[in-house]
Structure 1
Amino acid sequence: MNVLVIGGGGREHALVKALSRSKHTEKIHAVPGNDSMKKYAEIHNGISDSDIEPIVELAVKENITWTVIGPEAPLTAGLADSLEAAGVKVFGPRKREAQLESSKTFAKNIMMKYGIPTAEYRAFTNLIEASEYVKEQGAPIVIKKDGLAAGKGVAVAMTEDEALDALREMFVEGENNPVVIEEFLEGEEFSLMVLVNGEYTLPFDIVAQDHKRAFDGDTGPNTGGMGAYAPVTHIGHDVIDEAVEKIVQPTADAMVKEGLDYFGVMYLGAIITKDGVKTIEFNARFGDPEAQVLLELLESDFIDVLEAVKNKEPYKLQFSSDSMLGVIMASQGYPKDYDKGTQVVIPESIEDEVFNSGLKHVTDDRYETAGGRVMLVTGRGNTLEDAKQAAYKNTEQIEFNNDALFYRNDIGERGV
């Protein structure tokens, strides 16, 4: 069968690779794709992932059986709705269901209505009222911009001044999006991917751990993710079971009760608190960079998985017993302003260990940076320590000018 992947980042690079391993796949198309996907797929970089009509036309023309949507923006724009209407099977929720990610207020209201464990919160559309609330509550406190923010619209403010600065930054003139202010939860965070179809849920057997802050020691601003590893061996199956039983399954059931029909990945960002597992956030797609490490460890045929979820059939996901760790190399200045066009050399010997997030191929082993998060450099091994050593050894082989790129040196430290 012919399949189509929507998106052009590292997560979509991993999806293309996973689909290329399926015995059912004849040809893969990627919109817009990236240069590193050419090994596996025909890329259509003249179409953006938000160009709904051209994507639907391409899917019909190329006789696409399955479309897998990677990023959140086309989900929020209703791409799944349009593809479904054209008779194409789509893995990714429709516009109304994608509100679980696109609207933090929507997600919080669902959780509060159905008693799903999460932080206490208030939503504000007025800067003065929000500032007064922060002064009443004190710090630490969490400030979240409603709507899509590519993982960067969150401030974990450890002081009242930080919280007030974050509020001023998030209340952008001319925007009507609410800002959500949450209770600060203390504990260890983890990411759980669950494949959902209505009330049917198929959780991954292993969890990943992302590293959101820009710099070592979990310092600096929040980012889209600076690295990830899996499995997280010190977070046991009892925690996964609790997260599914108390959070994921009730949320899937709640969506059905609300007249919604969720089909796709329900990504749970969770935290283990003294009062049990609680929800930090939901995303309506695979996490990035978690997808890259998890999908590399997935041994099940990905098309078989999609068909099982589509048909709500019992299925046992198979994962390698290896560990996988990835380190994001980012443009200096990310997640704020950064330059593009910096030359990067990736030796051919480690190309398969690198997932392209923001690189443009120039010639041979030479690339130019074209984004904030440039690449995820991975390593694999029998243990997490082996995987970590392999990943950092690979980062050392990548050549770039001076301090044009930066990365964290402590990815996976908590799990080693």
Structure 2
Amino acid sequence: MIVKISELLNSLLCIKIFNIPFIIIWVIATGIFCTVQFKFINFRLFKYGIQTLFNMKCNSDNKGIITHIQAFATVISGTVGLGTISGVAIAITIGGPSAIFWMIITGMLGMSIKFAEVVLAFTHRSDNTTGGAFYYMKDGLAKIGFPKTGKFLAFAYAIMLIIAMIFGGIPFQANQMAALSDNLFGYNVSIIISLLVLVVILGGIKRIAFVATSLAPIMIMLYIGMCVYLIYVNKSNLLNALSIIFQDIFSKSAVGGGVFSGLIAGVRRSVFANEAGTGTAAIAHSTVKEVDPIKVGCVAMIAPFIDTILISFLTGIVIIITGIHNVDNIGDITLISSIFSTALPLFSKSVFPLIMFSFAFSTIIAYCYYSEVALLYLFGNKKVLLILFQVFIVISVYVSCMSKNVEFISYLGDTLFMCLMIPNTIAIYLLRREVLNTIDSYYSSKR
């Protein structure tokens, strides 16, 4: 049944317009619109976002639960998962090396979308501590005369978010964790993974933020360091690797025979990797102890840069430069691991698995939190329902660990995350004036 529903959703999203799937045009058009409409905010205030992120001063009197760095770590933990690592390989398998280029372009455009959704979510957060796309859909659209539309979009979005997390995002991470442990240790650790997830999510956003802040920064730096080292070792092939990527963009197979396969694969994997337009980051950033929505939005823009423009690009270059893109089924995380085994044998057996486990685990707990907030929006604070939901999540993790169909899980995740973009980007478009007013107020205050 899940297969049939997934195929139906995908067929609707992929209705061809000029031989390009509708959802791909939607994603690119939304990114271009937000970038232009919001005055190229992704370039102009990127530096300001970095300065805000690393400003350790935090006014404890501000409403909220966590700091900028904790919110950012939670979001980056959700985006820099195994979808960013093995997902790049899957994109190359489906669309060729040119998929890397389109992932970067989509990531740059996605920075503007993420800014808009986070600013709106922060402005409309409930009780100054809880927010998300469903709140600005319901409250924001009601303020401009679309109360029924807002309620419908918010309800549909919350339902889709829960489904996307439980049947798309979480299963992919859990499945790849289990595959890696089975390859390294010879046995499946699905029960251990499931129990660890349960322990963390029972602690709420504070425990999730603590775990994310503890794991994400050092693991990201270690992974980037390993990629840079591998590229350095193979530096003689670097220009050739870049040439392969750009040649594939204009090759007959990528443009004609592949029906824009590189573009399609790159955009799909970029959305799954950085989640720009899906509204997930808005949930974590809404809990920040802050009063200025511009600061929160600018910090949020950094995540797509790191996970897509930096990490996905480095991963793609490593795959091309080592020649593993010519191997079948490179989407399996175990084959990605084999890239590092030649140049870094010690690290590939110890550090690399630790990094991958940390990425996947932190992503799972972030997704759990997002789905719980959606559940809270739909049904209110009902503890029995929440406990049952958490148990269901743990079961989903366990079942996903046992599955061997990684391609379908990845395909389902892509489709469900794409579905999230429809109601969210409609709301962003309708509320664009509110975002613009916030930006104009910021620039006016600096004159």
Pairwise TM-score range, normalised by the shorter structure: under 0.3
Using CA pairs below 8 Å that are at least 6 residues apart, which structure has the higher relative contact order? 2
TM-score, length of structure 1 as denominator length: 0.26
- The structure richer in strand per residue is 1
TM-score, length of structure 2 as denominator length: 0.25
